[in-house]
């Protein structure tokens, strides 16, 4: 088979099913009939067809799920889901919301297959449905989440998570708002030993790179302070003057248009108002909470630093809502839209 990247007018995006016990299958099926997605990209799913069919029945849809063995066989349409069969069928009797090693293994298998296809340029982007980090660990795959696992699969050491909110009522900037995290999935007590000037500068570069692509011009960036009131001149901590400010100054010398460190409570308001295109947050909740309050179901997770494109919904498996037919699929539509935009920019 000729596996070279074919000439296509639309990017091909593979969606990983995520943990079958979570809301992933529902949000995929719920988003699938949106005709604008199929105008922008050719879509396929990696996972188990039987799980998707169960989600179709749950939501009362009229979609046909078509098993395929190669991504080139995929012919997507609003009424047809091509499913690249991967993983074991032992997930078919998973209890809704269960944190089970079988669900973790299924999510792992789909992601590995999708990454392999993306690296071979047989697909143009990956969009992931959520996995359970505990189920992933129970399956023997000891990664904090998608981001770190994809870094290893792609042979990349420097990766980062960016939460991105497209422009709209909540974000007035024409390019939207991206929040990149210096540290990510770790206990809060561990943030201080992982927060270094090198890591801060690296994440500033990544933020500049992706927001430059989305904006089409040099983005305006800002770095968050770590402590309240940006340390209040050392009264509440000295990380700002000893660590973050020197890193920001070095980033500016490299040509980045960045300010900081700025107090996060007012910075996020200024960014939402359009003063900044990107924000560099020092730890997970500092960036996540603010952006999700602005638009939980429109926010998109974009992995930076990879040689492939990966986007995701910004929510988890929602075990308390899984398989009840109530999951919001707006995040999946947003994630696929951003993936299509990024992939189209590379074609």
Shared domain check, 286 and 223:
yes
- Tokens 């395929």 locate to 68
Range in 110-114, 277-281, 292-296 with the lowest mean pLDDT: 292-296
Give the pLDDT score at 230.
81
- pLDDT-based confidence at residue 6 (cuts at 50, 70, 90): very low
Residue 313 sits in the same domain as residue 232: no
Q: What is the rounded average pLDDT for all residues in the chain?
A: 92
* One domain for residues 187 and 295: yes
Would you state the structure tokens that stand for residue 214, as one six-digit string? 């989305």
**Same-domain pairing of 220 and 97:** no
**113 is in which domain, residue-wise?**
1-156+306-347
Residue 300 three-state SS: strand
Strand arrangement, sheet containing 300-304: 64-68, 80-85, 42-47, 12-16, 125-128, 310-313, 300-304, 160-165, 177-181, 278-281, 221-224, 258-262
The CATH number of the domain holding residue 18 is 3.40.718.10
Same domain, 97 and 226: no
Give 158-210 as a DSSP string: --EEEEEE-SSSS--STT-EEEEESS-SS-HHHHHHH--HHHHHHHHHHHHHH
Per-residue pLDDT averaged across 147-152, rounded? 92
Residue 8: pLDDT band (50, 70, 90) is: low
Residues making up the chain, counted from first to last: 347
Are 93 and 166 contained in the same domain?
Answer: no
**Cβ proximity of 47 and 17 under 8 Å:** yes
Place of tokens 């108002």: 273
**Do 246 and 345 have their domain in common?**
no
**92 and 136 fall within a common domain:** yes
Q: Are 324 and 254 contained in the same domain?
A: no
Residues 311 and 331 in one domain: yes
Same domain, 295 and 327: no
Q: How many domains does the chain have?
A: 2
Confidence of residue 271 (pLDDT cuts 50, 70, 90): very high
pLDDT in tens, 54-107: 999 999 978 999 999 999 999 889 999 999 999 999 999 999 999 999 999 999
pLDDT at residue number 211? 93
- Residue 155, classified by CB atoms within 10 Å of its CB into exposed (0-12), middle (13-18) or buried (19+), is exposed
């Amino acid at each position: 088979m000729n596996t070279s990247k074919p000439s296509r007018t639309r990017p091909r995006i593979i969606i990983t099913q995520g943990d079958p016990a979570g809301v992933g299958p529902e949000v995929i099926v719920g988003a699938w009939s949106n005709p604008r997605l199929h105008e922008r990209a050719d879509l396929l799913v990696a996972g188990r067809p039987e799980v998707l069919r169960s989600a179709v029945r749950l939501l009362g849809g009229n979609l046909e799920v078509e098993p395929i063995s190669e991504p080139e066989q995929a012919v997507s349409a609003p009424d047809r889901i091509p499913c690249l069969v991967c993983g074991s069928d032992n997930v078919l009797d998973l209890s809704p919301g269960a944190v089970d090693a079988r669900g973790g293994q299924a999510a792992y298998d789909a992601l590995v297959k999708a990454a392999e296809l993306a690296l071979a340029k047989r697909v143009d982007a990956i969009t992931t449905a959520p996995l359970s980090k505990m189920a992933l660990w129970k399956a023997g795959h000891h990664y904090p989440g998608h981001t770190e696992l994809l870094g290893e699969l792609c042979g990349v050491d420097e990766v980062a998570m960016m939460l991105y909110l497209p422009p709209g009522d909540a974000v007035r900037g024409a390019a939207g708002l991206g929040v990149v995290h210096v540290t990510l999935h770790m206990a809060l007590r561990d943030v201080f030993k992982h927060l270094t000037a090198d890591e801060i500068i690296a994440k500033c570069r990544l933020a500049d790179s992706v927001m430059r692509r989305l904006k089409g011009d040099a983005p305006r960036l800002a770095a968050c302070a770590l402590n309240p009131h940006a340390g209040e001149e050392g009264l509440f901590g000295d990380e700002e003057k000893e660590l973050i400010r020197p890193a920001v100054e070095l980033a500016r010398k490299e040509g980045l248009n960045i300010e900081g460190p700025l107090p996060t409570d007012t910075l996020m308001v200024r960014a939402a108002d359009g003063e900044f295109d990107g924000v560099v947050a020092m730890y997970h909740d500092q960036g996540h909470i603010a952006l999700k309050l602005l638009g939980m179901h429109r926010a998109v997770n974009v992995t930076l630093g990879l040689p492939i494109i990966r986007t995701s919904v910004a929510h988890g498996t929602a075990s308390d809502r899984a398989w009840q037919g109530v999951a919001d699929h707006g995040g999946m539509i947003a994630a696929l839209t951003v993936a299509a935009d990024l992939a189209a920019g590379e074609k």
